[in-house]
């Protein structure tokens, strides 16, 4: 079964709608990633699916107005954390900050969904340019994995390849190209970080029409879904495509 992750971003508008949506998509192999304000209520609804957070901070506590810690999230039953999403990077989140978050996430026992992906300006230069861009992100964001002092048992790293030019644009990547990138990412994880079995998801305008094109590729272990995850009927069809 493939992993189907629903990134709701800053949606829906009400708690009632969040609970309804979570209940309709509560299936094994699914991760629901709602806004912070809905985490507790959505967690209470889920019986089969798992709970994820869209972000977290690298300190456990303290004077950090507006932030939330991995410790707090864990207390709510959250087990997955999205780190380094392009929308966070656009707000100024650097690779250095992302790397710090990765360290704390792993030490806190979270399954990390690390987002990487290139801009169109890079992609139009060719696949090699895109590969180099993504590898540079991986090397910077996962630097801790090269530190022999860093020992974490049962480390569960998931990389979400989300070409920035495809996020929210309705313009998805070609499944064959995405599969090649997923294979490349797995090679980098194995060669540079000794991470074997790391999963790679595809994200970027995934919907019910194109999901099977990505999910049938053996190199791709699932999808990270944005807007389509807010439409229960469509998201259920994506889940079905991953079985």
Give the residue numbers marked as catalytic.
Answer: 85, 162
DSSP-assigned beta bridge partners for residue 186: none
Distance in angstroms (rounded) separating the CA atoms of residues 194 and 240: 33
User: CA-to-CA distance for 105 and 99, rounded, in angstroms?
Assistant: 10
Of the candidates 74, 76, 57, the residue with the CA atom closest to the CA atom of residue 66? 57
CA distance 78 to 97: 21
Phi/psi zone of residue 113: left (φ > 0), alpha (ψ -120 to 50 degrees), beta? beta
Helix (H) or strand (E) holding 237: helix 232-241
Tokens for 24? 């309709």
Cβ-based neighbours of 171, under 8 Å, separated by 6 or more: 165, 205
HSE (CB half, 13 Å, CA atoms) of 138? 28
Tell me the three-class secondary structure of 36-80, residue by residue: HHHHHHHHHHCCCCEEEECCCECCCCCCCCCCCEHHHHHHCCCCE
């Amino acid at each position: 079964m493939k992993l189907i992750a629903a990134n709701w971003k800053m949606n829906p508008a009400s708690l009632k709608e969040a609970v309804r949506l979570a209940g309709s998509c509560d299936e094994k192999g699914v991760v629901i990633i709602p806004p912070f304000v809905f985490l507790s209520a959505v967690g209470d609804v889920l019986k089969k699916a798992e709970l994820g957070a869209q972000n977290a901070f690298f300190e456990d506590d303290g004077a950090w107005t507006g932030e939330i810690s991995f410790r707090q999230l864990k207390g709510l039953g959250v087990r997955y954390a999205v780190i380094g999403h392009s929308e966070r990077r656009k707000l100024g989140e650097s690779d250095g900050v992302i790397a710090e978050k990765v360290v704390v996430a792993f030490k806190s026992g979270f399954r990390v969904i690390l987002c990487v992906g290139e801009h169109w300006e890079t992609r139009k230069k060719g696949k090699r340019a895109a590969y180099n861009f993504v590898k540079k992100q991986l090397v910077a964001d996962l630097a801790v994995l090269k530190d022999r002092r860093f020992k974490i048992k049962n480390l569960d790293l998931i990389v979400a390849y989300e070409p920035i030019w495809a996020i929210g644009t309705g313009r998805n990547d070609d499944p064959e190209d995405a599969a090649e990138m997923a294979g490349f990412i797995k090679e980098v994880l194995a060669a540079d970080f000794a991470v074997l079995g790391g999963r790679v998801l595809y994200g970027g305008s995934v919907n019910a029409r194109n999901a099977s094109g990505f999910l049938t590729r053996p190199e791709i272990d699932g999808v990270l879904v944005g807007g389509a995850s807010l439409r229960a009927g469509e998201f259920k069809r994506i889940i079905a495509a991953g079985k």
